[in-house]
Structure 1
């Protein structure tokens, strides 16, 4: 019996066999959780067989993910999980910082008590992930924390762009390469951001965010030459 490819062997299906409603979401989720290494080929026929559908809806789903920057396509070769250059990867962090800074100033003013509860809950989950040394849980909680900080801004389009930018960097699984000491320092940044947010101090919040991104750039620069994470083309 022929073995499935690396990509197909790591797929998960949330719907029934032959259902196309969850196909796009399942493919996206598979890439975002980091099990699919950047550059991994995506065999359409095997993916279609896994979901019990024809290749047509798989191609349509991959076109959507291509537009989102999660996959790439080479003529006569096919689809694969997107593999960024480190320069592109770092640029996306710059974009994320710019979007976050713009939203934080408004969020600090417009946040309501319910928003503060969400930020505190996300921060508590971060602390639990740090204590367990669980980098995947940390990554998920960090995303929830940063989103909880900017959602009160009411800038819905900006938040969607922010999520999209974050998604594109996920296949490289940056937090999996960050040492525990660096992760602890990043978590300390989150603590100061939480304090500034609860104090409704926009200037301090943006300043702490800027320091956090500076620390992130230092952390990710340590694996800039990893050929499994980044392309050199």
Structure 2
């Protein structure tokens, strides 16, 4: 596990603290795919009781980041190319619809938030802070999706994103892909400023597809 997983602002509850710590540990590679989760060790490490850790494990299981095996416990979900391809197909359906609905709502305040998130991505890309880049990348994309989506749509999009965050970390650990993502964000921003729905969706699709191709290549090389 990495000590970096505990950095950042303090969460509002012990359970949320445990959820955020575990997510970051998975993304940063402190908890590798297939790792058995030692609940006592994690509770002691992050300074909470077993109860919030157990609740956090249920949350991450629901997101697909952890797998529960009866009488054996929780394990970090193995990364599989076939799963990623299926999830991305679902993301495309939902995100394209959300982006098209968002276009009429893209006022200057929204564009400003997108620009700030894109800058944060670029800064994190330069420093190689993958966890910070993932957080900024999420703010960037969700800044678009949330404009035109209701709570049920966003609940599904969040679930799909959470279940693939570890895959996304594979992509952002490659310097050339971090630069490519920055360039893609710039094109997405241009389409958003122009309120061009077709171009916005096309750029989002290309951004997602490039990440998918890279992730599948990595997973295939490792036999996943």
Q: Identify the TM-score tier after normalising by the shorter chain.
A: 0.7 to 0.9
Correspondence 1:125 to 2:116 = no
Answer 1 or 2: which has greater helix percent.
2
> How far apart are residue 193 of structure 1 and its match?
0.8
Correspondence 1:29 to 2:44 = no
Equivalences for residues 78-157 of structure 1 within 5 A:
78-157=73-152
TM-score normalised according to structure 2 size:
0.82
> How far apart are residue 165 of structure 1 and its match?
1.2
- In structure 2, the residue matched to 1:163 is 158
2:6 and 2:147 mapped to 1: Cα distance?
A: 33
1:56 and 1:128 mapped to 2: Cα distance?
A: 37
Which residues of structure 1 form unaligned runs of 5+? 1-5, 16-20
State the number of aligned residues: 216
Give 1 or 2 for the bigger CA radius of gyration: 1
Equivalences for residues 178-217 of structure 1 within 5 A:
178=174, 180-217=175-212
Decide whether aligned partners of structure 1 residues 24 and 175 sit closer, same or farther in structure 2, where only a CA change above 3 A counts. farther
CA contact (8 A) 2:19 2:59 kept: no
Which residues of structure 2 form unaligned runs of 5+? none
TM-score normalised according to structure 1 size:
0.80
Give the RMSD, CA atoms, in angstroms: 2.6
CA contact (8 A) 2:19 2:57 kept: no
Secondary structure of the residue aligned to 2:200 is: helix
